[in-house]
Amino acid sequence: MKFAIMGSGGIGGYFGARLAEAGNNTHFIARGEHLTAMRADGLKVESPLGDLHLPEVQATDDPATIGQVDYILFTTKLWDLPAAADACQPLIGPETAIVSLHNGVSAEDDLADIFGPDHVFGGVAEISSFIARPGVIAHGGDFARIRFGELDGKTTKRAEQLRDRLEGAGIEAELSSDISRLLWLKFILIAGTTSLTALARQPIGAVREAPKTRALLAQAYAEAFAIGRAKGVALDDQVPNERMSFTDKLPFGMTTSLAMDLDAGNRTELDWLAGYLAKAGAELGVPTPFYDLVFNLLKLSKDGRDTV
């Protein structure tokens, strides 16, 4: 099987490294100093699940040099999706599957519009990882898993083969017949935790343990749940409480990509997180006062420093 990793940062770099270590033909698409370091010294992963160093990796900034692949792990930032998808065109063969591993719940539809739904798997990456320095991926926590599935819910041979390859690389993998529900379960969690960690400038543990911010987190989960329900997603009544219980099990010091991007002065995915829910609430007639506030406060910095 031939893999391409579109976006070789924290998520793509980690999972791609595990696939390559297991002997899969894996091509990393990267840019800048990260690409330079990968070409010179390979790719390193620092992880509680086991460090690794691949002295040589197949890394490029030009997908056209790779040829057609069986699977693309698509892990770019959401604002990069249109340009990255265009660059991926030479990778697409008749059976190529694009595994969308993004925050938010819009990427699958966007990719399906570009490539056709038959080429797209919905996917949920459950991992905390980032580029510690060029050529080095830092992974925190004791879990790193991918849940994925065909958009129509069918179990196909290519989906089963991907599950087997992931598991063979030591990656926990789940093939789902209802990936839309799993996407929304993650989105409810991510929307709430990104909003509160970014506003409070504190890790998840501090947010959940202070009574007032815990109440805000509960409100965030309730609002996102209401939007999902209004969109017809099969979410049972216990989801908001379950999301809070899940939050209570996360490492105290864990933070979110939105909070890290905000602190670094980088562009953020706010438009696809709190912004998405605020917009959907207005369109559906579902009140979202928490997300309205978050979006209007953080949008002043959503494109990075010195953009106001």
Confidence of residue 306 (pLDDT cuts 50, 70, 90): low
* Per-residue model confidence (pLDDT) at position 305: 65
Kindly state the average pLDDT of the residues 170-199: 96
Three-class SS of 13-35? HHHHHHHHHCCCEEEEECCHHHH
* Across 141-170, average pLDDT: 95
Structure tokens at 176: 């789902």
Report pLDDT for 125. Answer: 95
**Taking the alpha carbons of 159, 51, 59, 112 in that order, is the dihedral positive or negative?**
positive
- Which residues 6+ apart lie within 8 Å of 250 measured at CB? 141, 204, 205
Q: What is the CB neighbour count within 10 angstroms for residue 74? A: 27
Q: What is the pTM of this model?
A: 0.91
Task: Tell me, rounded to whole angstroms, the distance of Cα 4 from its chain centroid.
Answer: 16
Quick one: pLDDT at residue 56? Answer: 97
Q: Which pLDDT band holds residue 304 (cuts at 50, 70, 90)? A: confident
Could you tell me the CA-to-CA distances from 139 to 52, 79, 127, 178, 196 in Å, in that order? 11, 24, 8, 28, 22
- Predicted confidence at residue 303, as pLDDT, reads 82
- What is the distance between the alpha carbons of residues 16 and 3, in angstroms, rounded to a whole number? 8
Amino acid 268 reads T
The mean pLDDT value of the chain amounts to 95
From first CA to last CA, the distance across the chain in angstroms is 47
Residue 303 has φ and ψ, to the nearest 5°, of: -100, 15
The answer to whether the beta carbons of residues 8 and 16 sit under 8 Å apart is yes
C-alpha 308/C-alpha 301 separation (Å) is 7
Task: For residue range 103-149, list pLDDT tens digits in order.
Answer: 999 999 999 999 999 999 999 999 989 999 999 999 987 889 999 99
Reported as a single tens digit per residue, the pLDDT across 15-50 is 999 999 999 999 999 999 999 999 999 999 999 999
Query: Looking at residues 67-71, what average pLDDT do you find?
Result: 98
Q: Could you count the other beta carbons within 10 Å of the beta carbon of residue 18?
A: 23
Q: How far apart, in whole angstroms, are the C-alpha atoms of residue 254 and residue 241?
A: 20
Q: Is the pLDDT of residue 214 over 60?
A: yes
Domain architecture of the chain: domains with CATH: 2-177 (3.40.50.720), 181-301 (1.10.1040.10)
pLDDT surpasses 90 at 192: yes
β pairing state of 120-133 and 136-150? antiparallel
CA gyration radius for the chain? 19
**What pLDDT, on a 0 to 100 scale, did the predictor assign at position 254?**
87
14, 284, 283: which is closest to 139 by C-alpha? 14
| E-state strands within the chain | 2-6, 25-29, 43-46, 52-54, 58-60, 71-74, 97-100, 120-133, 136-150, 172-175
Torsion of CA 273, 276, 281, 287, to 10 degrees: 30
Query: What mean pLDDT is predicted for residues 71-88?
Result: 95
Q: What is the pLDDT of residue 308?
A: 45
Average pLDDT over residues 41-69: 97
Tell me the pLDDT tens digit for each residue of 229-276.
Answer: 999 999 999 999 999 999 999 889 988 989 989 998 999 999 999 999
Residue 269: CB atoms within 10 Å: 22
